[in-house]
Amino acid sequence: MVSILPVRFPLCPCFARANVRSSFLLSRAGARVRVSRLLLARAMSADSTAAVEGGREGEGCGEEVKEEVVQYVVLRRDLVDTWPMGSVVAQGCHAAVAAVWAHRDHPDTVAYCSDANLDSMHKVTLEVKGEAQIRNLSEKLKVNGIDHKLWIEQPENIPTCIATRPYPRSQVVSFFKKLKLCK
């Protein structure tokens, strides 16, 4: 049994797997523990509850742990500094929804939008300096076959944002490593 804050989860061999991506950060009294959302969901599932109650700790964990699926959203910093915040947020929302809708039948998008993941979708919001950088990033993604939506605000014809379709993090993280988190 592992205790994290006031919640107890069954100790499962899945927790020891090296390929599990840590994404959920819990903090208490300065101590930090990273636990995959998938593992938290599994630990809180009916099977895990039955395993704890029935003393079958770790049972039912033989299935493969899948990598976290994430959607990247990249905004232009110059717009964040000059447009109303609501307008910039709307641009990111437009691009994110358009990317998901355009790739709605892709297995990663289906998993990302599934009922089981609906309350734990993961997005990473980053920024680039301006129009030239957003266009260059879009071209780089296109050349490398990364599905994305470059949102062009109309009628002004201004590129404002990029959103990828949902991807397993390891497949796309290298394209976004050098970008800053949007603050």
Residue indicated by tokens 């499962």: 12
Nearest-CA neighbor of 103 among 146, 160, 157?
146
- Give dist(CA 128, CA 161) in Å, integer: 9
Expressed as residue numbers, the domain containing 84 is 69-181
Same domain, 148 and 121: yes
Q: How many residues does the chain have?
A: 183
Q: Is residue 59 part of a domain?
A: no
Same domain, 111 and 155: yes
Q: Is residue 148 part of a domain?
A: yes
Q: Is residue 32 part of a domain?
A: yes
Same domain, 32 and 109: no
Domain boundary among 10, 30, 54: 54
**Number of domain units in the chain:** 2
Same domain, 114 and 155: yes
Same domain, 85 and 159: yes
Mean pLDDT, range 119-133, rounded to an integer: 95
Q: Is residue 62 part of a domain?
A: no
Question: 57-85, pLDDT tens digit by residue?
Answer: 444 455 555 789 999 999 999 998 899 99
Same domain, 167 and 77: yes
Same domain, 43 and 74: no
Same domain, 34 and 105: no
Per-residue pLDDT band at 183 (split at 50, 70, 90): confident
Same domain, 15 and 96: no
pLDDT at res. 45: 42
Neighbour-count burial of 6, counting CB atoms closer than 10 A to its CB (0-12 exposed, 13-18 middle, 19+ buried) = exposed
Sign of CA dihedral 45, 47, 52, 57: negative
Q: Is residue 60 part of a domain?
A: no
Same domain, 98 and 35: no
Mean pLDDT, range 39-64, rounded to an integer: 44
Cβ neighbors of 115 (< 8 A, separation 6 or more) are: none
Same domain, 81 and 138: yes
Same domain, 160 and 92: yes
pLDDT at res. 80: 84
Which CATH number goes with the domain that contains 73? 3.40.1490.10
Per-residue pLDDT band at 106 (split at 50, 70, 90): very high
Share of the chain above pLDDT 70, in %: 64
State if pTM tops 0.85. no
- Give dist(CA 171, CA 69) in Å, integer: 10
Q: Is residue 14 part of a domain?
A: yes
pLDDT at res. 167: 97
Mean pLDDT, range 150-178, rounded to an integer: 96
